[in-house]
Amino acid sequence: MEEKKRMTKEQLEAELRSMRIKGTINRILAFCAVLAMILTFVITESRIVALVFLIIAVVFGAQASQATKSSSEIRKLLGKMMTNEQIETKLKFTLIKATIPRILTWCAVAAIILTLVITEDLIKALGFLVIAIVVGKLSGRATERSGEIKEILGENVITDVIRDVLGDDVEYNPVGALAPGGVVVPFSYDHSSGSHHIKTVYTGVNIELGSIKLFYEHRYTQEETGETVIDELVRFRGPWIICDFGKKPACGVYISEWTKKDRKIMKSNVNIDNGQFGSRFCVRADDPYEAYRILTPQMMEAISAAADKSGSTVYMSFLPDGKMHFAIQTGHDLFELGKDYEDAQGLRQRFSEELRRLTDIIDTLNV
C-alpha cells in the first residue's frame, strides 16, 4: 500500500487496469475449474480429479479476491486525487450503473417464475437463472463501488470541513477511536468503539472529539440448546468531547441530564440549591464539596447552555486528571453521511454546522 501511495496518477491508472484484467482472468479460470470439477464428478465419478479441480478453483479464486482488494485500494487513492465535484459526478453515474442491473435481475427472476409456471420449460428457466446471476453480480459490484466512492467523498468533505473549522494543525483519523475514560455515563457498559478521532489545540485548549458507541452485553441461556447467547445492546451513541481545561478536582464529579427513564435508576448525592439546574441534572461525586466548588452559578449556567445547544441528552464529567468529558446521546455518529451523500456541498454545510456546534459547546464550557 505504501508503494502505491508513491505512484503518480498515470501509474495508478495503469496498475488499476492491470488488476482488473488479472481479476477477470482469475474469475473466469476459477469458474471453469468449478465447472470442470462438477462435470468430472458427474461423468467420471473420479473424486481425486474433482478434488484437483477444486483446489485449482480455490487458488484462482483467492488470486481474483486479492486483485479485487488491490483494485479497491487503488480506486481509493485515485479518488483522493479528484475534486469533490468529480467524485460526486462519478458517484451518481455508479448509482445508475447499480440500479439498472438490479432492475434486470428482478426481471430475470420474474421470467424464471413465469417460465416454470406457464411453459414448465426447465431449459429456458435455467437460461434466465444464468442471466439473473450475471446481472446480479454486476449490480453487486456497482453497489460496492458506489460505497467506496461514497466513503471517499465523505472523507474528502470531512477533511476539508475540519481544516476550515479547526485549522490545518489537526490530527484526524477517520477510523480512530478516543478512549471514553472515567465514569461519564450513569449506566454500565462492557466495551466501546469509535470513529472520526480528532485531536488538536482549539483556542489554547487541548481537545479530542469523535464518535463513540458504548455496548452492553446481555447474556442469556437458550432453553432449547442450553447455549449462552450474547446480545450486544448499544447503550450510547453520539459525539464525545474531551477538553483539558486544567482544572483538577480532588475527585470525579459526574453530571447527567435526567430523562424519564433515568430518574428511575439515577440518584444524586449532591444537593444543588439552584432549583432549575437540580431538576434538570443529576449530580454525583465522591466528595460533594468538590461538586460545590466546581458548580459555581456561572458554570451551572454554562452547562445548561451547552446542553441546550447539543439538542440531545448530555452526560459530562470533571475528572481528577483535569479533563472534562462531554457526551451527547444523539443516536447517530459524528459526520454520518445520511441520505444526501450525493450532494458534496450539502454534506459540507451539514458537517460544518455539526462541528461548529461542538466547538460552540467547548467555548460555552470554557469559563
The rounded mean pLDDT for the chain is 80
pLDDT score, position 6: 67
Q: How far apart (Å, rounded) are the C-alpha atoms in residues 297 and 273? A: 10
Half-sphere exposure of 148 (CA within 13 A, CB side): 20
- The Cα 307–Cα 330 span in angstroms is 12
Place of cell 450525493: 342
Contact 341, 92 (CB under 8 A): no
Q: How would you write 161-201 as a 3-class SS string?
A: HHHHHHCCCCEEECCCCCCCCCCCCCCCCCEEEEEEEEEEE
Check residue 74 and give its pLDDT.
75
Mean pLDDT of 329-342: 74
- Give the three-state DSSP class for 208: strand
Are the C-beta atoms of residues 329 and 314 closer than 8 Å to each other?
Answer: yes
Q: How confident is the model at residue 151 (pLDDT cuts 50, 70, 90)?
A: low
The torsion defined by the Cα of 36, 38, 41 and 46, in degrees rounded to 10, comes to: 30
More confident residue, 97 or 201: 201
CA distance 215 to 192: 6
For 331-360, what is the mean pLDDT? Answer: 79
pLDDT higher than 60, residue 340: no
Is-contact 52 122, C-beta < 8 A? no
Give me the count of residues in the chain: 367
pLDDT band at 256 (very low <50, low <70, confident <90, very high): confident
More confident residue, 129 or 280: 280
User: Could you tell me which residue, 331 or 264, shows the higher pLDDT?
Assistant: 331
Global confidence as pTM:
0.64
| CB environment 112-150: b (16+ within 10 A), e (fewer) | beebeeeeeeeeebeebeebbeebbebbeebbebbebbb
Q: Please tell me the predicted confidence (pLDDT) of residue 200.
A: 94
> pLDDT at residue 182 above 70?
no
Sheet holding 228-244, edge to edge: 171-173, 191-202, 205-221, 228-244, 323-329, 313-318, 253-257, 281-285
Q: pLDDT class for 363, splitting at 50, 70, 90? A: very high
Rounded Cα distance between 221 and 176, Å, is: 34
Q: What is the mean pLDDT of residues 193-211?
A: 91
Query: What is the rounded distance in angstroms from the CA atom of residue 360 to the CA atom of residue 223?
Result: 52
